[in-house]
Structure 1
Amino acid sequence: MQRRDFIIGTAAAGAAGLSGCLGTAQQATDTAAGGGDSGRTVTVTGSAEMQAAPDRAVIDASVEATGDSAAAVRDALSTRSDSLRQALRDAGLSDDQLTTGRFAIHPQYDRREPGAEPEQTGYEGTHTTTIEVDDVDTTGDVIDTAIDGGADSIGRIEYTLSASTRESLREDALKAAVDTARDEADVLAARVDSRVVSVQRLNAAGGGLSPTYERYDVAEAASVGSTELQPDDVTVSASVEATYRIG
């Protein structure tokens, strides 16, 4: 990945300007029976977030069908989804990138006056193919291929990160979170005329991946021609809880 950025915490500061959100002090206690410095600890949390351009996209493309029977709708969905998948294969996507996301068939009813017994008029169904795109820059082209291949709608467009990129960013966020926790502990220790002596406990306390999403309108896209998308950055966060001995 060519670019990764720290989100600057509102209360954090640093010469390089690269830090996480300032951790929140939870407690400063004296646990020694006699109140000596050897038992004094401070527990703090530190968090950090990193942003990077997505390197993976997930698209839901659906075909729809109606018919007099569930079997007729099933057959129509099978034929149409096969055509969609073949169009995507012809565009260079592999079968590993194409999976069934949702398959549903249910009765259709006419819209009658309130209180009247609904009358079944047939069946309708949807078959969704989930498309995984490894080159985010081609997302618009893949959507165009899906539409030309028979997709009736494009649902979810999710921008995310590959497993290796996600783990690398999480490691960087964890390092920044630890640094932030230590900075906070130093500040608190100094306020009681002490200094951090050692770390007693350090745990990863939370964090995760925040993908970004984009809406796609088939009718609107048809009026402008080819699809052009501008995905937002993806955020990876991490937080830690640390207990330091001070003296």
Structure 2
Amino acid sequence: MPFTQSAPRVVRKSVALAVAGLAAASLSACDSHDASPPGANPRQVTVFGSGQVQGVPDTLTADVAIEFTAADVTSAMNQTNDRQQAVINALVGAGVDGKDIRTTEVSLQPQYSSAEPGGTATITSYRADNGIEVKIRPTDAASRLLALIVTTGGDATRISSVSYSIADDSPLVKDARARAFDDAKNRAQQYAQLSGLRLGKVLSISEGSGSTAPTRTAPPAPPRAATPVPLEPGQQTVSFSVTAVWELD
């Protein structure tokens, strides 16, 4: 009867090994659960803040061109060059700094006749253009200087656009940045209160791109006489945005 007597010992040994295995698994599960790094705080709030300030523009930029059409390229180019040089000389003589005048376009294009049915278009003349960008500061002088441009350029004058800007907007950007951060902090504090927690330290800050909304006016129609061009600078808005992350305690 040896087989009958040894069977209980085999069963008891198997049960003991199973219990030991369950205990080891339980310890392993506990170690895994407590493996999070010390000091980690998953309670955070990420908010977006924005700020805006307004300032009065101090610079006007005008895009001015002289255009002539003539039967040959030399005449068209010479007339355009001479007239534009006269405009530049008049501006400098009126107090505009030479570095505030920049050439933006020089072009010479043939002009064609309307082709008859079955025929081909032919060159009838040539058109020359010379464009400059003029920065006028202070803006109080803009009306007078635009009138001077028109008087000097005559019927060949083309004013395509004028725009206002602020030469140094860094103080406005600094103010807008502070307002954006205050806005983000106020939002974060509100979320902390709503969740029954306290606002902790700042974990990260990222800036959005600051932007300046330009003030533009429609291009003024060239007057026949040297009368001041009515202009209103209005205001410019400088905007800034920020995204910040706070701890919640």
SS at match of 2:231: coil
Q: Whole-Å Cα distance in 2 between the matches of residues 156 and 114 of structure 1?
A: 39
Shift of 1:48: 1.2
CA contact (8 A) 2:151 2:226 kept: no
SS at match of 1:142: helix
Moved more, 86-95 or 179-188: 86-95
Identity of aligned residues (%): 25
Output one character per residue of 1:76-117: Cα deviation in whole Å (capped at 9) or x when no partner.
Answer: 221111111111122111211211122111111123467753
Residue in structure 1 matching 2:50, options 31, 47, 50: 47
Moved more, 69-78 or 113-122: 113-122
Residue in structure 2 matching 1:168, options 168, 171, 177: 171
Residue in structure 1 matching 2:185, options 174, 182, 187: 182
Quote the residue 1:18 is aligned against: none
Shift of 1:69: 3.0
Q: 1:224 to 1:138 in 2, by over 3 A?
A: closer
Stretches of 4+ moved more than 3 A in 1?
Answer: 111-116, 221-225
Aligned residue pairs: how many? 212
Quote the residue 2:164 is aligned against: 159
CA contact (8 A) 2:58 2:167 kept: yes
Quote the residue 2:128 is aligned against: 125
Q: Whole-Å Cα distance in 2 between the matches of residues 213 and 222 of structure 1?
A: 24
Unpaired runs of 5+ residues, structure 1, are 1-31
Q: Whole-Å Cα distance in 2 between the matches of residues 121 and 127 of structure 1?
A: 21
Higher helix share: 2
Shift of 1:33: 5.3
Q: Whole-Å Cα distance in 2 between the matches of residues 83 and 37 of structure 1?
A: 72
Q: 1:115 to 1:156 in 2, by over 3 A?
A: farther
TM-score scaled to structure 2, two decimals?
A: 0.78
CA contact (8 A) 2:144 2:229 kept: yes
Q: Whole-Å Cα distance in 2 between the matches of residues 157 and 115 of structure 1?
A: 45
Q: Whole-Å Cα distance in 2 between the matches of residues 195 and 203 of structure 1?
A: 22
Q: Whole-Å Cα distance in 2 between the matches of residues 224 and 89 of structure 1?
A: 18
Amino acid at match of 1:125: A
Quote the residue 1:22 is aligned against: none
SS at match of 1:38: coil
Question: Is 1:66 matched up with 2:69?
Answer: yes
Shift of 1:139: 0.9
Shift of 1:233: 0.9
Output one character per residue of 1:154-203: Cα deviation in whole Å (capped at 9) or x when no partner.
Answer: 1221100112xx11100000000000000000111111111211100011
Unpaired runs of 5+ residues, structure 2, are 1-34
Amino acid at match of 1:142: L
Higher strand share: 1
